[in-house]
């Protein structure tokens, strides 16, 4: 299908995150982050890759903004490196770190590109980790301090603020599954981290509002659609439990409904400490709900605590280079469900990330990544369907602007609209990047091939 015309005010963009692109980890007074430590720990990241150099964006930012202009990008979502600005997480401010983002923001605005800033995309200062990291409630206060500094400094020019990126990953991949920094495997800690991240978001919201009265601000989650694999009640129950921990445990308290009873019951003895005002703070109104979506999940009943579910990848579905199944209709289902269940709370949804890793090859100066263009096209078509049905999705950002450090997968997985040769740091706009530029310019979905 082609020819869908998006609403006039639809927001088109692409996204990155500081640790994934900046490099220059020891320059201009930047402090260490948990991802520096984790990536330098043998065995944690594929091929021993680290973010030390990444895309060298810290030095190449001007050219990178030029590339954004080349692909007609109207909006750019990026994150601030907390340890670049507060090397120890709180206290002493590193002016050079602040200046870096000032220059970047100026350059974006001069090129007609609207900045969308994520405050925290996982690179927690190591100094805070040394005091307990997100397990320690004091980290919430440190986050508020950081928020205050950067919203004061950039708020005259930056109007779109995203408090946290995918706190589910920080809590569960970082503290329970051990595959992201800081690599713990402790469910009780993970649940406490979950609560502190939500609290940090709620505490930061009024600070953003005070410093940027006309801000458009909220959080960005990675909810997904869970489908029971079989028809049994057991499979359905497993899907409901998965949905609880990945979706409702975040959305419900943000929507002023408190934590879902089934989750509190399930984790009873290890449920986190929740202060008397915490739920009210977490429920502080926000302007939008941010959604990152890559793939749905199929589950059947299983034996493993705590969720007693097993993930199944249906064999008939295609997969990306990450091994993630591709099923665009799940995005229609997801945004529709958020609207149905939480529509009176959030009248705006943004897709802040969507995209795919494929094994791109640079051949005679070109990258012919039709598969990625197809993936993006099909997800935009799925989104259009929901919008057409009245779901208020107001924008879409491709993950990612350029190939970058893909966390535990290192540089082996490429998600970019722009190809990066990590040896030479040469950038090449991929076929998908040129195609996306046409879609964005025309505000209309056109066939990718």
Q: Is 399 in the site for ligand FCB (CB under 6 A)?
A: yes
Closest distance to ligand FCB from the beta carbon of 417 (Å): 13
Rounded to 5 degrees, φ, ψ at 395 are: -170, 165
How buried is 269 (Cβ within 10 angstroms: 0-12 exposed, 13-18 middle, 19+ buried)?
A: exposed
Q: Which residues are within 8 A (CB) of 115 and not within 5 positions of it... i.e. 6 or more apart?
A: 76, 78, 104, 105, 108, 109, 154, 157, 158, 160
Please pick, among 107, 166, 189, 406, the residue that the annotation labels catalytic.
166
Hey, which residues between 219 and 238 contact ligand FCB (CB under 6 A)? 222
Cα end-to-end distance, the chain, whole Å: 12
Q: Is 166 in the site for ligand FCB (CB under 6 A)?
A: yes
Closest distance to ligand FCB from the beta carbon of 406 (Å): 5
Hey, which residues between 1 and 20 contact ligand FCB (CB under 6 A)? 17, 20
Using CB under 6 A, pick the residue from 260, 406, 427, 433 that binds ligand FCB. 406
Coil/strand/helix, residue 184: coil
Nearer to ligand FCB, 90 or 404 (CB): 404
Query: Are the beta carbons of 202 and 137 closer than 8 angstroms?
Result: no
* Residue 353 a catalytic site member: yes
Closest distance to ligand FCB from the beta carbon of 331 (Å): 15
Alpha carbon distances (Å) from 239 to 184, 191, 259, 260, 337: 25, 19, 18, 15, 15
Q: Which stretch binds ligand FCB (CB under 6 A): 108-116, 164-172, 339-347, 360-368?
A: 164-172
> Which of 320, 363, 364, 355 has its CA nearest to residue 432?
355
Rounded to 5 degrees, φ, ψ at 339 are: -70, -40
Q: Is 216 in the site for ligand FCB (CB under 6 A)?
A: no
Please pick, among 22, 107, 353, 409, the residue that the annotation labels catalytic.
353
Using CB under 6 A, pick the residue from 192, 292, 371, 432 that binds ligand FCB. 292
Using CB under 6 A, pick the residue from 82, 101, 407, 411 that binds ligand FCB. 407
Alpha carbon distances (Å) from 214 to 155, 191, 297, 359: 9, 33, 37, 42
Binding residues for ligand FCB, how many (CB under 6 A)? 12
Alpha carbon distances (Å) from 353 to 75, 114, 206, 226, 297: 13, 16, 25, 19, 17
Closest distance to ligand FCB from the beta carbon of 84 (Å): 17
Nearer to ligand FCB, 149 or 169 (CB): 169
Q: Is 353 in the site for ligand FCB (CB under 6 A)?
A: yes
Q: Is 165 in the site for ligand FCB (CB under 6 A)?
A: yes
Alpha carbon distances (Å) from 386 to 218, 226, 326, 338, 369: 21, 18, 18, 11, 27
Nearer to ligand FCB, 212 or 398 (CB): 398
How buried is 346 (Cβ within 10 angstroms: 0-12 exposed, 13-18 middle, 19+ buried)?
A: buried
Q: How crowded is residue 222: how many other Cβ atoms within 10 Å of its Cβ?
A: 19
* Residue 269 a catalytic site member: no
Tell me the pairing of strands 426-429 and 11-15: unpaired
- Taking the C-alpha atoms of residue 400 and residue 357, their distance in angstroms, rounded to an integer, is 10
Closest distance to ligand FCB from the beta carbon of 21 (Å): 10
- Per-residue contact track with ligand FCB, 293 to 332, x per CB under 6 A? ----------------------------------------
Q: Is 415 in the site for ligand FCB (CB under 6 A)?
A: yes
Q: Which stretch binds ligand FCB (CB under 6 A): 165-173, 376-384, 418-426, 429-437?
A: 165-173
Nearer to ligand FCB, 17 or 338 (CB): 17
Nearer to ligand FCB, 19 or 61 (CB): 19
Closest distance to ligand FCB from the beta carbon of 79 (Å): 9
Enumerate binding residues for ligand FCB (CB under 6 A). Answer: 17, 20, 165-166, 169, 222, 292, 353, 399, 406-407, 415
The residues carrying an active-site annotation are 166, 353
């Amino acid at each position: 299908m082609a020819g869908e015309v998006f609403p006039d005010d639809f927001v088109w963009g692409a996204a990155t995150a500081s640790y994934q692109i900046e490099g220059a980890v020891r320059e201009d007074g930047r402090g260490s982050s948990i991802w520096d430590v984790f990536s330098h720990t043998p065995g944690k990241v594929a091929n021993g890759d680290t973010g030390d150099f990444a895309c060298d964006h810290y030095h190449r930012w001007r050219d990178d903004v030029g590339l954004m202009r080349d692909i007609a990008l109207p909006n750019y979502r990026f994150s601030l490196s907390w340890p670049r600005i507060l090397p120890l997480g709180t206290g002493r401010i590193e002016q050079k770190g602040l200046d870096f983002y000032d220059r970047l923001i100026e350059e974006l605005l001069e090129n007609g590109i609207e900045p969308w800033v994520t405050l925290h995309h996982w690179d927690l200062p190591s100094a805070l980790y040394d005091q307990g990291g997100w397990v320690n409630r004091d980290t919430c206060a440190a986050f508020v301090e950081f928020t205050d500094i950067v919203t004061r400094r950039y708020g005259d020019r930056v109007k779109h603020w995203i408090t946290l990126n995918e706190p589910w990953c920080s809590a569960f991949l970082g503290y329970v599954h051990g595959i992201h920094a800081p690599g713990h495997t402790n469910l009780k800690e993970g649940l406490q981290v979950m609560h502190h991240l939500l609290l940090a978001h709620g505490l930061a919201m009024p600070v953003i509002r005070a410093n940027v009265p006309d801000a458009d601000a909220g959080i960005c989650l990675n909810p997904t659609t869970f489908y029971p694999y079989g028809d049994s009640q057991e499979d359905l129950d497993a899907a409901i439990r998965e949905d609880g921990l990945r979706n409702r445990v975040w959305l419900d308290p943000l929507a002023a409904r408190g934590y879902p009873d089934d989750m509190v019951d399930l984790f009873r003895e290890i449920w986190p400490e929740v202060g008397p005002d915490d739920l009210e703070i977490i429920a502080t109104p926000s302007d939008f709900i941010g959604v990152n979506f890559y793939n749905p999940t199929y589950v059947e009943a299983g034996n493993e605590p705590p969720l007693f579910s097993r993930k199944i990848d249906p064999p008939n579905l295609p997969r990306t280079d990450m091994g993630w199944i591709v099923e665009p209709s799940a995005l229609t289902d997801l945004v529709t469900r958020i609207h149905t269940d939480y529509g009176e709370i959030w009248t705006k949804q943004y897709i802040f990330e969507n995209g795919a890793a494929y094994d791109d090859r640079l051949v005679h100066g070109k990258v012919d990544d039709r598969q990625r263009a197809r993936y993006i096209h099909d997800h935009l078509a799925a989104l259009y369907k929901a919008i057409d049905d009245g779901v208020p999705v107001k924008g879409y950002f491709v993950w990612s602007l350029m190939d970058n450090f893909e966390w535990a997968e290192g540089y082996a997985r490429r998600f970019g609209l722009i190809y990066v040769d990590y040896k030479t740091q040469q950038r090449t706009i991929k076929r998908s990047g040129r195609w996306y530029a046409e879609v964005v310019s025309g505000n209309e979905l056109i066939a990718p091939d």
